[in-house]
Structure 1
Amino acid sequence: MPKQFFQSWLPSPEKVASMKFMRIFGKRSLNPVLWYINRKSISKAVFIGTFWGILPIPFHTALIVLTVLIMEVNLPVSILLAWLTNPLTLAPILLGAFWIGSQIYQVNMIDQDMLLGVLHQMTHWVTNMGQGHVDLSLAKILLSGLIVEALFFSVLFFLMTRLFWRFSIIRQWKKRTITADKPLDD
């Protein structure tokens, strides 16, 4: 069941390999291992895609592709999960990361005055061509929170994928044994 589900909506290897940014990776993107649909490949792809997808960094799709090429897991699933960070999800992701980071460093949650102060420091730094001081403590809090959040959701989605796959296989086997045990009508 899960295999048929993924095969029904995943694009073909040729279609993904023909994308402009995929041409950078050449023939490596056509490696058949990157297109396998099995429990291990899909769950690892979910882990990679979720981890890099939650981090709102530039070129996270390229980082996903590099990681997939190194680990040889399903490429399309990982790329699809790259878009977890979008304008609708960015605010909750960042708010959660700030909360987690503030718990790690045992500081109060970031308030409006603190954010305005950092914004003022950054604009002063930019207008003075890099001269001045920028407090990077917020960046440390945010980055730590983002990494922990990305790891948490990656492991969670990895385990959920494994459990879903296992549950669907068990359900298929039960259906098979029920129909096999059913007597044939004359």
Structure 2
Amino acid sequence: MAKKTIQRFLPDHNKIKQQKSLKIFGRLLHDANLWHLNRRSARGAFSVGLFFAFIPVPFQMVLAAAFAIPFRVNLPLSVALVWLTNPLTMPPIFYCSYIVGVFALGQETQPFHFEASWEWLTQSITTIGPAFIVGSLICASVAAIIGYFGIDYLWRRSVNKAWSSRGQ
């Protein structure tokens, strides 16, 4: 059940191999283990994908692919999970990351107003930057751990349910 549900949402692996941004990995993308979907590859892919979803850097999909390859986890699932943070969800997720960072560093929240300018970015790196980066790393780590153990639990539960329904 879990495997079929996940496979429904995954993009075709041939389309992913043709992505221009992933051409840098060359022949590494031809490893069959990157495309198989089993419990081990799914839980690792959830961990990698969710971790990079919470990291505020450009090219999150490329980073997720770069880490999926050496860990030999499902590449399409890792790349797809990065889209948890999309233009609609990014502001609340990153604001919560900032609040977590403020709490972790024992600071007080600082008022800020976002501006899409280089000047604002360089100024905010020194004011809200440390709390935001620490909060993002904490949230990314927690999401990766929850994703790893959560999908493992759901996968095992699905398999147990399928086996018990066969016996009846």
Q: Is the 8 A contact 1:46 1:157 kept in 2?
A: yes
Number of equivalenced pairs: 166
The aligned counterpart of 2:146 is 156
The alpha-carbon distance between structure 1 residues 165 and 125, as it changes in their structure 2 partners (threshold 3 A), is closer
Percent same amino acid at aligned positions?
27
The aligned counterpart of 1:63 is 63
State the Cα distance separating 1:151 from its structure 2 match: 0.7
Indicate the larger mover: 22-31 or 160-169: 22-31
Identify the structure with bigger relative contact order (alpha carbons < 8 Å, sequence gap 6+).
Answer: 2
The aligned counterpart of 1:108 is 108
State the Cα distance separating 1:56 from its structure 2 match: 2.2
Structure 1: which 5+ residue stretches go unaligned?
A: 127-132, 179-186
Residue 87 of structure 1 aligns with an amino acid whose one-letter code is P
The aligned counterpart of 2:11 is 11
The aligned counterpart of 1:182 is none
Q: Is the 8 A contact 2:47 2:144 kept in 1?
A: yes
The alpha-carbon distance between structure 1 residues 52 and 175, as it changes in their structure 2 partners (threshold 3 A), is same
State the Cα distance separating 1:83 from its structure 2 match: 1.1
The aligned counterpart of 2:34 is 34
* SS in structure 1 of the partner of residue 37 of structure 2: coil
User: C-alpha deviations, 1:60-79, integer Å up to 9, x for none?
Assistant: 11111110111111000001
State the Cα distance separating 1:124 from its structure 2 match: 8.3
The aligned counterpart of 2:24 is 24
State the Cα distance separating 1:30 from its structure 2 match: 1.7
Normalization by structure 1: what TM-score?
0.80
- Which protein has the larger Cα radius of gyration, Structure 1 or Structure 2? 1
User: C-alpha deviations, 1:20-55, integer Å up to 9, x for none?
Assistant: 222221121121010111101101001000101121
**RMSD between superposed Cα atoms in Å:** 2.3
